[in-house]
Amino acid sequence: METITEGKITIEIPKGNIRKKDPVFYNPEMKLNRDISILAVKIFKDMAKRKITVADALSSSGIRTLRIAKECANIEKVMINDMNPTAIALAKKTAKDNDINNAEFSIEDANVFLSKNKNHLDYIDIDPFGSPIYFLDSCARAASGKSLIGVTATDTAPLSGTYPKTCIRRYGAVPLREDIKHEIGLRILIASIVRAFSRHNKSFVPLITYSKIHYFRIMGISTSSTSLAGKSAETVGYAHYCKNCGNRMLSKDIEDKTCAICNKDLTIAGPLWTGPINSPLFINKMIKENDFDDKKLTEFLELLKKESHITQPFYDLHQICKKNHLEIPKREKLFEELKNQGYKAEKTHHEPTGFKSDVEYEKLLEIIKKRLKK
Ligand SMILES: C[S@@+](CC[C@H](N)C(=O)[O-])C[C@H]1O[C@@H](n2cnc3c(N)ncnc32)[C@H](O)[C@@H]1O
Ligand SMILES: [Zn+2]
């Protein structure tokens, strides 16, 4: 074991490379994910204007919630649960070593733990190995009248279409193995959360979501308003995609369509979330709250904020040009042209060769073709 510090917590963790079968799982690479949770909790707590109860249903070492207890004001209590007794023993020791006395511990299956806390928890974090789908119903059950929900998924391969049958079986949704596969996977996951919450007459709206190589992360607000639950459920729809030319659109309806550009049949992916996946307002508040000395985090939040103003799925410049046998233009020049014509254009965190724009696909192809002739 070795002693390390993350945020304001000092903790003893297994030494060497991380493995799933370590007695307690601690992944230093998820620090950014945890930092983002802490900023989101700070903003949510200010919005709620009351003391909040925080729960990590699959806590492992408890690092996320122990940091919340230490780094956020006005926390009623943190509830730390994992079915691994060694993890909970470490979490208890860490709480003691760091003078935290508003933590409760339990060793239960996450579904049992959450179901026992019906309508009670103000922030719930679900961070399993693999898919969070097995825990979403009990998460919805446990969410208080207005709550913050954080969900991590590491089964990015099914969600992104590498294993479509697994995605259909697990999420009841068809993925898309094309340039926008990560955003489609993220939207399928959001829709799964929305559908689980709407089964419990609760709404869910995403506030900050992102895809990384090994995981997807979604944080959003849930309420117990039935009318808002109806609204969020209605935002679930489909993506229609042309495998021939790359044309794409989000739509509430599932009817077969043909491509307006090349007349080929469009492929349907989903059900998925068709609304905005990031809130510029919420992310802006997080940026203002961010006092972590971490350049990577600051840059990441800035990038998310910029792209959050554009709601339609991103474009991958290289893939688009490949599909349409076009030479790839310089991104800066293309952005200049798009902006000159009154469109928005921003880099996206999803792919280094991707960008977000509110330009329609047909117009984008026209601009790329014109540019190449110059
Ligand atoms: C990825 S780790 C959690 C990491 C932690 N949230 C963090 O930020 O460091 C997943 C944890 O889920 C626990 N786990 C897996 N299945 C569970 C279940 N059904 N109920 C409760 N805990 C479970 C494992 O023991 C493991 O500690
Ligand atoms: Zn087409």
Alpha helix (H) residue ranges in the chain: 31-48, 63-71, 85-97, 110-116, 136-142, 156-159, 164-171, 181-199, 226-234, 280-289, 295-307, 317-323, 331-340, 361-373
- Cβ(66) – ligand 1 distance below 6 Å: no
Q: Do residues 308 and 275 share a domain?
A: no
Give which of 364, 355, 260, 235 is closest to 303, Cα–Cα: 355
Instruction: Fill in the DSSP letter of residue 349.
Output: S
Same domain for 287 and 183: no
Main-chain dihedrals φ then ψ at residue 311, nearest 5 degrees: -90, -25
Domain that holds residue 313: 283-373
Q: What distance in angstroms lies between residue 172's CA and the mean position of ligand 1's atoms?
A: 24
Q: DSSP 3-state assignment of 367?
A: helix
Residue to mutate, 59, 63, 108, ligand 1, most ligand atoms under 8 Å from C-beta: 59
- In angstroms, what CA-CA distances link 4 with 19, 39, 225? 17, 21, 43
Please indicate, yes or no, whether residues 165 and 209 belong to a single structural domain of this protein. Answer: yes
Are both 290 and 220 inside the same structural domain?
Answer: no
* Residues 127-155 pLDDT 10s: 999 999 999 999 999 999 999 999 999 99
317 and 178 in one domain? no
Whose atoms come closest to the Cα of 33: which ligand? 1
Please indicate, yes or no, whether residues 270 and 289 belong to a single structural domain of this protein: no
- Which CATH number do you get for residue 57? 3.40.50.150
Same domain, 210 and 326: no
pTM (two decimals): 0.97
Same-domain check for residues 199 and 220 = yes
Are 250 and 322 in a shared domain?
no
128 Cβ closer than 6 Å to some ligand 1 atom: yes
- Please say which residue of 234, 262, 282 terminates a domain: 282
Question: For residue range 84-130, what is the model confidence (pLDDT) as tens digits?
Answer: 999 999 999 999 999 999 999 999 999 999 999 999 999 999 999 99
pLDDT score, position 221: 98
Q: What is the distance in A from the centroid of ligand 2 to the CA of 262?
A: 4
Please work out whether the CB of residue 87 comes within 6 Å of at least one atom of ligand 1: yes
| pLDDT tens digit sequence for 253-273 | 999 999 999 999 999 999 999
- Ligand 1 mean position to 2 CA, how many Å? 21
Measure the CA–CA gap between 354 and 316, rounded to whole angstroms: 4
- Boundary of a domain, candidates 244, 260, 282: 282
Same domain, 159 and 225: yes
Total tally of structural domains belonging to the chain = 2
The residue out of 251, 282, 313 marking a domain boundary is: 282
Which atom from ligand 1 is nearest to the alpha carbon of 154? 1
Q: From CA 139, how far away is CA 136, in angstroms rounded?
A: 5
Q: How far is the CA of 255 from the centre of ligand 2 (A)?
A: 17
Q: Do 11 and 70 sit in the same domain of this protein?
A: yes
Instruction: Give the Å distances, CA to CA, from 217 to 151, 189, 245.
Output: 6, 9, 30
Average pLDDT, the chain: 96
**Which of these, 18, 94, 38, 109, lies nearest to 62 by C-alpha position?**
94
Same domain flag for 159 and 289: no
Q: Which residue, among 161, 156, 174, 185, has the nearest Cα to 314 in the 3D structure?
A: 185
CA dihedral 94, 100, 103, 109 (to 10 degrees): -10
- The minimum-distance atom of ligand 1 relative to the CA of 27 is 9
